[in-house]
Amino acid sequence: MLKPEDFFDLNNHPLASFFNGTEYVWEALKNLKPYLKQNLHPNIQKIKRIPGGILNETVVLYEGKVFEKGFSITFGDATKGALKVEMDGQVLAGASVIYASAVLMDDNISIGKGTVVEPGALIRGPAIIGDNTEVRQGAYIRGDVVVGNKCVVGHTTEMKHSIMLGGSKAGHFAYIGDSILGRVNLGAGTKLANLKLDESAVMIKVKGDKTYDTKMKKLGAIIGDGVEIGCNSVTNPGTLVGKGSSAFPNSTLHGYYPPKSLIRR
């Protein structure tokens, strides 16, 4: 009940290899840095930036080329494929847009097709950003991050050493540290705490079973497919939420929740 497939549908999943060699789902976080080293193929080196990595002008990234002018943008929900870029009367299918004043702090970053990075977002590598994804204004991606396809890293959302597997949405004021998110929605203000106050190793208690020593000092949350977390909720370090669960707003979560749990304040 604590295996990766208990939380996520990994059949033919593009990021399934992330879980190779793991017994318990949280162990996959130890694979994150090796995964990035093997699978990250940077594609932003040609984008002009001033010192600090700031873009002075909006650019379009399309089939390995960077366009600085001559295009028009119809902004729409990138996760639904509604971002549209045209040039010389031709639609550039799969083009991505990085807006002026976004910050790409180093070259160790890959940005997928049909993705938008809004003004004021900051990305530090190593980072893989998938297809049809939105990195919104004020987002802060701190490195060692994989963001899958059709995800949202929203306004003032901070993310570090974590993975969004796809269809993962953290639209507003979230903190995601040392965590794995499936096809989920985090309500505004959700915080996934990753460090105990005494900084000891994170333990996971499963009711009626036993306590698992993760041997990890930092571990946030594992949130399974189909989970909805209400606004202003907090997960304690080492929280595991099973598929199809829902948490009321202002909830404090801890330990393990089986699939289809209803979590009250």
CB atoms within 10 A of CB 211: 9
Inter-residue contact 242 to 258 (CB < 8 Å): yes
At a CB cut-off of 8 Å and minimum separation 6, what does 51 contact?
none
Determine whether 13 is an active site residue. no
Q: How far apart are the first and last CA of the chain?
A: 24
Beta bridge partners of 145: 127, 162
CA–CA distance, 141 with 162 (Å, rounded to integer): 10
Ordered DSSP codes for 107-148? S-EEE-TT-EE-TT-EE-SSEEE-SS-EE-TT-EE-SSEEE-
CA angle 173, 196, 214 (to 5 degrees): 105
Q: Which of 13, 41, 155, 172 is catalytic?
A: 172
Closest C-alpha among 243, 225, 221 to residue 234? 221
DSSP label at residue 36: H
CA–CA distance, 229 with 243 (Å, rounded to integer): 12
Inter-residue contact 76 to 83 (CB < 8 Å): yes
Q: Which residues participate in catalysis according to the annotation?
A: 172
